[in-house]
Amino acid sequence: METETHLSASAKVSSTITECTKTICVLGLGYIGLPTGSMFATHGMRVIGVDINPHIVDVLTGGGLHIEETGVKDVVREAMKSGNLVVRRVPEPADVFIIAVPTPINQDKTADMRAVTSAAESIVPHLAPGNLVILESTSPPRTTVDLVRPILERSALTAGRDFLLAYSPERVLPGQILKELVENPRVIGGIDRASAEAGRDLYTAFVKGEIVLTDATTAEMIKLMENTFRDVNIALANEFGLIAEKLGVNVWEAIDIANRHPRVKILRPGPGVGGHCIAVDPWFLVEAAPDRAQLIRQARRVNDAMPKHVVEQVKQVVAGIKNPAIACLGLTFKADIDDTRESPAVEVVKLLKAEGFDVRAFDPHVKIGTFSFQVESLAKTLDGATMVVLLTDHSAFKTIPRDQLTLYGQRTLLDTRNLLNDMPMDQPHLQMEKQPLMALAE
Ligand code: SAJ
């Protein structure tokens, strides 16, 4: 937090903003920007949604939706119908600017900040005294003060004196975005107290969870710590899975029993960690302190190696079979969504193809044509398959009769998510589901 003199100067700006906040320009209409902008619009604000992708702008103005997410369709429709949400390709003057653009990683695992940079640059011509700018994109620590602030100050306005600037991370879970936007606690880190307070006053429009104020760099670090916590814990679960496999232990049973301890909560092993957040964000901490982030780096490596491990399991099962055909079920990075970014399922399919296998994949949530190996129906995927690999735990897969998957026990099903709850994830080909219990009985 900055000095009191600075605070009182920006406090004046803040009170002006909160009294007359009417127009919010949201840059980036993806999984975060679109629901957030729509929520503001349905809570009485005038929202200008901006996306540089003409396809997204066309789809939205035509009444469509480019993402699949529970409830989002309804709130977007309501926002558009009310006239409070308009969609544009470039920013327009506003009271508040919210940046919600992607921050992927480069090949060398450093943050690709080009979208944040150009979004901030596109605000500069419109920035006016009294404005509030909020960065929501997950970003390396110090992005708000070291990257965004200098760009905005090219406007000849000074942050903290002429305009307010804050970082407020999105923390919503894909699949539950709308619910979590409203109910989750929200962190707002200001470059000064007035900026944080102005952010709080803004999000109060629809956030019902606690709103916690801090400084911008702490807020950036909080977001990265949350996702890193999850990544490291998933890596631990995956490592338990690998060890259990070696020992002939059913890891699912072991985790289930271990988790009955009041202070133990082991996460779920699987084919790897995907999505644009957990598989990416820990690297921002590694980048910030490469010599110190040892555990974080290693956890990333463990999780990144899981797709290759699944391929090794497949190879063991089909060893000796001539021209085996592999049917893969699920392409998204997790259940019941349409998002395939950084998906370990896609990685498994690509690795299997690189091994020369005949691979087909089916995912009821992914538009046909997205991948060359995609098959349009479950029946076609399974037809003639030597083995089936379940890679994503979509609810829809639970209803497929087991006999259809295993061809009445004639082919192996590798259930990497333990969705069907009756297979050890690690040694599907050795019929030893209940091995630890059987050993006990003897
Ligand atoms: N996964 C496992 N085992 C588990 C849990 C998850 O293998 O026990 C895998 C999933 O299958 C998936 C990946 O991890 O491939 C990530 O899924 P997720 O559900 O853990 O997380 P995301 O990426 O959908 O959302 C996370 C959330 N962060 C935390 O829970 C700390 C969400 O709150 C964030 O807003 C989001 O990242 C984000 O945008 O940063």
pLDDT digits (tens, 9 = 90+) for 397-422: 999 998 999 999 999 999 999 998 75
**pLDDT tens string 73-88:** 999 999 999 999 999 9
Residues 274 and 148 in one domain: no
Residues 139 and 12 in one domain: yes
Does 316 fall in a domain? yes
437 CB burial (10 A radius; 0-12, 13-18, 19+): exposed
232 Cα–ligand 1 center, Å: 11
**Looking at residues 327-344, what average pLDDT do you find?**
95
| CATH number of the domain where residue 8 is located | 3.40.50.720
Residue 59 has pLDDT above 90, yes or no: yes
- Inter-residue contact 132 to 198 (CB < 8 Å): yes
**pLDDT tens string 356-375:** 999 999 999 999 999 999 99
- Inter-residue contact 162 to 151 (CB < 8 Å): no
68 — pLDDT class (breaks 50, 70, 90) = confident
Residue 425 has pLDDT above 60, yes or no: no
* Ligand 1, atom 22, residue with closest C-alpha: 173
**pLDDT tens string 198-214:** 999 999 999 999 999 99
Does 231 fall in a domain? no
Out of 223, 315, 380, 434, the active site residue is: 223
Does 230 fall in a domain? no
* Residue matched to tokens 């127009």: 23
User: What pTM does this model have?
Assistant: 0.89
Q: Is 434 a catalytic residue?
A: no
Residues 324 and 276 in one domain: yes
Give the ligand 1 atom nearest the CA of 337. 24
Lowest-confidence segment of 9-18, 178-187, 249-258 by average pLDDT: 9-18
Residues 144 and 266 in one domain: no
The predicted structure's pLDDT at residue 7: 38
Residues 203 and 244 in one domain: no
Q: Which residues line ligand 1 (CB under 6 A)?
A: 138, 170-174, 226-227, 230, 234, 237, 267-268, 270, 273-275, 277-278, 333-334
- Inter-residue contact 390 to 402 (CB < 8 Å): no
Does 373 fall in a domain? yes
With the most atoms of ligand 1 within 8 angstroms of its CB, the residue from 273, 338, 416 to mutate is 273
How far apart are alpha carbons 29 and 61 in whole angstroms? 12
Does 320 fall in a domain? yes
Residues 95 and 139 in one domain: yes
Residues 353 and 300 in one domain: yes
With the most atoms of ligand 1 within 8 angstroms of its CB, the residue from 225, 278, 417 to mutate is 278
Which residues have C-beta within 8 Å of that of residue 324, sequence separation ≥ 6? 318, 357, 358, 386, 387
342 CB burial (10 A radius; 0-12, 13-18, 19+): buried
Residues 170 and 312 in one domain: no
Does 226 fall in a domain? no
Q: Is 328 a catalytic residue?
A: no
Residues 407 and 282 in one domain: yes
Residue 8 has pLDDT above 50, yes or no: no
Residues 111 and 16 in one domain: yes
Residues 246 and 184 in one domain: no
Does 216 fall in a domain? no
**pLDDT tens string 123-170:** 999 999 999 999 999 999 999 999 999 999 999 999 999 999 999 999
62 Cα–ligand 1 center, Å: 32
Does 16 fall in a domain? yes
> Terminal CA-to-CA distance of the chain, rounded, Å?
65
Residues 348 and 408 in one domain: yes
Q: What range defines the domain where residue 200 resides?
A: 2-209
Q: Which two tokens stand for residue 209?
A: 């969870």
172 Cα–ligand 1 center, Å: 10
**pLDDT tens string 93-114:** 999 999 999 999 999 999 999 9
The predicted structure's pLDDT at residue 3: 37
Domain boundary among 188, 209, 230: 209
How many domains, the chain? 2
The predicted structure's pLDDT at residue 436: 35
230 Cα–ligand 1 center, Å: 7
Domain boundary among 209, 224, 255: 209
